[in-house]
Every structure is written in C-alpha cells, then in structure tokens.
Amino acid sequence: MDRVLTLSEKLVIAAPAADVYDLVGDPRRMAAFSPECFSVWGRGQRVGDRFTGWNRRAAFVWFTNCRVVAATPGREYAFDVSTFGLPVARWGYRLAAVPGGTEVTEFWEDQRREDWRGRLVATLGLLFSGTPAPDRAERNRAGMRATLRNLAHALA
C-alpha cells in the first residue's frame, strides 16, 4: 500500500469565517471538537508560538510538540507537529467565505522522512497511539470529519 502523504476534508459551516477562526485559531479550544485531543498547554495563537497537544485514543495517551506556522485570522491557521525533535506532520485549517457560511478545509501533511528518523517516528506513533503508520491517514480522515462536524454543531 502506498503511503498517504496529504489529506483534507471540507465542510461548509453556517457561520462567518471570523467566528470559525476564533475556534480553530486557538488550539486550547480544540479539545472541545477533536476526537483525539483532550488538552493543550500553551497559547499557540501567533506564528512562532509553541504549544503541547495531549491526545488520547482508548487506553493510549501521547503528547506532541507543536509550532504555529500560519495564523491569518479569518483565512488560515496551521501548525507543525514534532515528537522528540523529529518532524511528524503539519495540521491546519483554511477558511473561505461561500454562500451559506464558511467552507472549512482541515488538512494534514505527513512530514515524516523516508529514513531512520521517519521509521523512529512511525514506531513511536505505534507505541504511543496504538496506530500503525499505514493506518494513520485513515484514522486522521475520520478524526477530521468528526472535528468538522463538531465545529459546525458548536457554531450552529
């Protein structure tokens, strides 16, 4: 099976982009929407800010170190994820005004390298999250869909 390197999911949310950004542009609020994230330490609202995300799936609990790489209110919010100094992924949201509200695109880009560091990150991912690397993309897709539905419900 080929490795999936990028994913995105879209949903039109019946709310202005500024209101959507207020939620996605503050990672401390993500625990209310994400099926995996249950806590965030740090602010993470401006480019360069760092925060730690705490995640859970069943009995597995893990943390990730994150650095904000895009923070344009009403348009885009994104952050890079690393673990023990090794690149893992970029997560983010792009917002676009459309009839009926805001089209919200959540995206994920795998940043694991194709070398021993990437294999180490994949092994750590399996140990901490219980998810084998080949299954991560589909688990992320399901999580994106749930997160977007939860955002839409919160803004209804």
Average pLDDT, the chain: 90
Helices (H), 17-115: 17-24
Query: Please, which pLDDT band fits residue 45 given cuts at 50, 70 and 90?
Result: very high
CATH number at residue 136: 3.30.530.20
Evaluate whether residue 109 is within a structural domain: yes
Kind plus residue range of the DSSP H or E element containing 151:
helix 133-155
Evaluate whether residue 59 is within a structural domain: yes
Q: Is-above-0.85 flag for pTM?
A: yes
Q: Quote the CA–CA distance of 67 and 43 in Å, as a whole number.
A: 10
Beta strand 76-83 pairing with 60-72: antiparallel
Number of domains in the chain: 1
Evaluate whether residue 118 is within a structural domain: yes
Query: Please, which pLDDT band fits residue 134 given cuts at 50, 70 and 90?
Result: low
